[in-house]
Amino acid sequence: MALTTHASSLYGGRACSVNKQLIARGGFHVLLRLEFDNGVNWAARLCLPTTAESHIASLNVESEVATLRYLKSHLTFPVPEVYGFNYDVPNPVGSPYVFFSSLKGRLYFGKS
């Protein structure tokens, strides 16, 4: 799978797999958990095929990466670290993506 092969290449060749449980899916993106053989987890945010070739999708990924990097450099609380991204189509993953660290905690999906 291109996603895990590329993530592995960014993390020193460690074996990588996708957790079969989907973390989240929205109208434009899917968020998956990548698991490495040493217990490290990353999150992978991918543009869905319907939006992947859109110029807006590329701008969204570029903006998200810039925002995360800005917040990480200016705040004292945990902010995900960006390990890799590409907002061009085509790319090794096949869709605009961001790989970032998974933060510990519980998922909340807007329950009221």
| 61-99 pLDDT tens trace | 888 899 999 999 999 988 999 999 998 878 888 888 999
Give counts: helices (H), strands (E), the chain. 3, 6
Distance between CA atoms of 67 and 100, rounded to whole angstroms?
A: 13
Of 28, 14, 30, 7, which Cα lies nearest the Cα of 83? 7
- The answer to whether the beta carbons of residues 99 and 34 sit under 8 Å apart is yes
Q: Break the chain into its structural domains and give their ranges.
A: 2-101
Whole-number pLDDT of residue 68: 93
The per-residue pLDDT for 17 is 96
CATH of 2-101, one of 3.40.80.10, 3.10.20.30, 3.30.70.270, 3.30.200.20: 3.30.200.20
Instruction: Provide the token pair at 69.
Output: 């990097």
Contacts of 77 by beta carbon, 8 Å cutoff, 6+ apart? none
Q: Residue 55: is its pLDDT beyond 90?
A: no
Ramachandran region, residue 36 (left: φ > 0; alpha: ψ -120 to 50; beta: rest): beta
Q: Would you state the pLDDT for residue 76?
A: 92
Residue carrying the six token digits 């990588």? 16
- Average pLDDT of the residues of the chain: 86
Is residue 112 scored above 50 in pLDDT? no
Please name the residue that has the structure tokens 């990548």: 34
